[in-house]
Amino acid sequence: MKLIGQTKITTVEEPDRLQFILTREHGWLDVVAGPILLTGFAVYSFIAQSWWFLFFCGIGFVYMVATYLNGPVTTLFVSDEGIEASGNLGRAFITHARIEADRVETLGYFGGSGEDGTPGLYVNRTELLAKLNEREADSISFAVRKRFPLLERGDQSSTSLLHGEDSGITTLGLSSRSPER
3-state helix, strand, coil in the chain (%, to 5): 35, 30, 40
Predicted local distance difference test score (pLDDT) of residue 177? 61
CB burial of 5-16 (b: ≥16 within 10 Å; e: otherwise) equals bebebeeeeeee
Q: What is the mean pLDDT of the chain?
A: 82
Q: Are residues 57 and 126 in the same domain?
A: no
Considering the entire predicted model, what is its pTM? 0.71
Q: What pLDDT band is residue 155 in, cutting at 50, 70 and 90?
A: low
Q: Compute the half-sphere exposure of residue 55: CA atoms within 13 Å on the CB side of its CA.
A: 3
Residue 39 has pLDDT above 70, yes or no: yes
- Domain range for residue 67? 27-71
Say how far apart CA 22 and CA 129 lie, in whole Å: 8
Residues 62, 101, single domain; the answer is no
In a domain, 90, yes or no: yes
- Residue 53 and residue 134 share a domain: no
pLDDT digits (tens, 9 = 90+) for 65-94: 888 888 899 999 999 999 999 998 878 888
- pLDDT at position 27 is 83
Short-list 139, 153, 172, CA closest to 22: 139
Q: What is the pLDDT of residues 95-153, one digit of tens each?
A: 899 999 888 888 889 887 656 568 888 888 888 888 888 999 999 999 998 888 877 66
Q: Is residue 94 domain-shared with residue 144, that is, in the same domain?
A: yes
Please tell me whether residues 82 and 131 are part of one structural domain.
yes
| 16 and 4 belong to one structural domain | yes
Q: How confident is the model at residue 57 (pLDDT cuts 50, 70, 90)?
A: very high
Same domain assignment for residues 67 and 8: no
Among 126, 156, 152, 153, smallest CA distance to 141 is for: 152
Whether 31 and 64 map to the same domain: the answer is yes
Q: Are residues 142 and 87 in the same domain?
A: yes
Split into its structural domains, the chain has a count of 2
In this structure, the answer to whether residues 108 and 78 fall within a common structural domain is yes
In this structure, the answer to whether residues 67 and 98 fall within a common structural domain is: no
